[in-house]
Amino acid sequence: MTAFPVWDDGTTAASPDHQLHWYDDRTVIIRQALHTNFEGPFSYLLIGSERALLLDTGTGDIDLRAVVDKLLAGREVELVVAHTHGHRDHVGGDGQFDTVVGKSAEEVAQYFGITGWPEQIVQFDLGDRVLDLIPIPGHHASDIAVYDRSTRLLLTGDSLYPGRLYVVDWPAFRASIARLTDFVAAGNPVELVLGAHIELTDQPGIDFAMGADRHPGEHALQLDPAVLTELADVLAAAGDTPQRIVRDDFIVFPLSAGGEPL
Ligand SMILES: [Zn+2]
Ligand SMILES: [Zn+2]
């Protein structure tokens, strides 16, 4: 593992349209530049001996296909394109790829062989690299978390990252985060939690304005696994009533079914 970069803060329009970080020699973190879209989503490329998994295709404002093709050049692997969930800022580049796992929960479950959504955790083997896929609906109906046994990274999409955790289905979200902490406690230690956006500043609990495409002084992408426990604890304490909860490293942000803040 090499040190994480300082991510492009969006203040230079002439900056490249994406930024790469090789976490190790089989793991690439790709960030779409904020100046191409304020969402600035992160995608992950996990490479095994037989397959590579691209998790999320961003907003579609950059040529992600060219980026991925270059990263995989010279490797004899099949590319599987799937998503942390089906929101448009994570599936926007799907059309650039030949085959993509569908974005509904039903399609995700069918492709990966999940017959007991969302309780069932399944494995997906990239070849000498086993991933555990954990359904975690609540932000969106098709959310999954991906645990990589080799790096002990836990990829959490929009369900846990340094920003506003928009919760549409409160009971499902609480159950999902509890499922995730149970999975970790059952002997799956986590090195770092990596989500799909950064919306917090480097000041505890202080976020950038919604839609901000400049992030001077961003929070780091990576979260300590204790933050997952913290999220589970505050959700357990909150009970059945959706409520906004501001913590140093995340903000729980309930939405109505129509997408309005509660
Ligand atoms: Zn989302
Ligand atoms: Zn998102």
Asked if pLDDT for residue 173 goes beyond 70, the answer is yes
Q: What is the pLDDT of residue 13?
A: 72
Asked if pLDDT for residue 119 goes beyond 80, the answer is yes
Q: Give per-residue pLDDT as tens, 20-66.
A: 999 999 999 999 999 999 999 999 999 999 999 999 999 999 999 99
Alpha-carbon dihedral angle through residues 132, 138, 141, 145, given to the nearest 10 degrees = -20
Distance 65 CA to ligand 1 centre (A): 21
Could you state, in order of their start, the residue ranges of all structural domains in the chain? 18-254
Question: Which listed ligand is nearest to 163 at the C-alpha?
Answer: 2
Asked if pLDDT for residue 69 goes beyond 90, the answer is yes
Residue 10: name the closest of 33, 43, 30 by CA: 33
Distance 80 CA to ligand 2 centre (A): 20
* Confidence class for position 224, pLDDT limits 50, 70, 90: very high
Asked if pLDDT for residue 14 goes beyond 90, the answer is no
Q: What is the pLDDT of residue 1?
A: 57
Question: Which listed ligand is nearest to 92 at the C-alpha?
Answer: 2
Asked if pLDDT for residue 236 goes beyond 70, the answer is yes
Asked if pLDDT for residue 259 goes beyond 90, the answer is no
Residue 183: name the closest of 130, 132, 249, 240 by CA: 132
Distance 74 CA to ligand 2 centre (A): 31
- 3 state DSSP class of 254: strand
Percent of the chain with pLDDT over 90: 94
Task: Give Cα 38 to chain centroid, integer Å.
Answer: 16
pTM beyond 0.85: the answer is yes
Distance 141 CA to ligand 1 centre (A): 10
Distance 90 CA to ligand 2 centre (A): 6
Question: Which listed ligand is nearest to 195 at the C-alpha?
Answer: 2
Distance 133 CA to ligand 1 centre (A): 17
Mean pLDDT for all residues in the chain: 96
Rounded-to-integer distance, Cα 240 and Cα 177, Å: 14
Domain 18-254 has CATH 3.40.50.300: no
Distance 87 CA to ligand 1 centre (A): 5
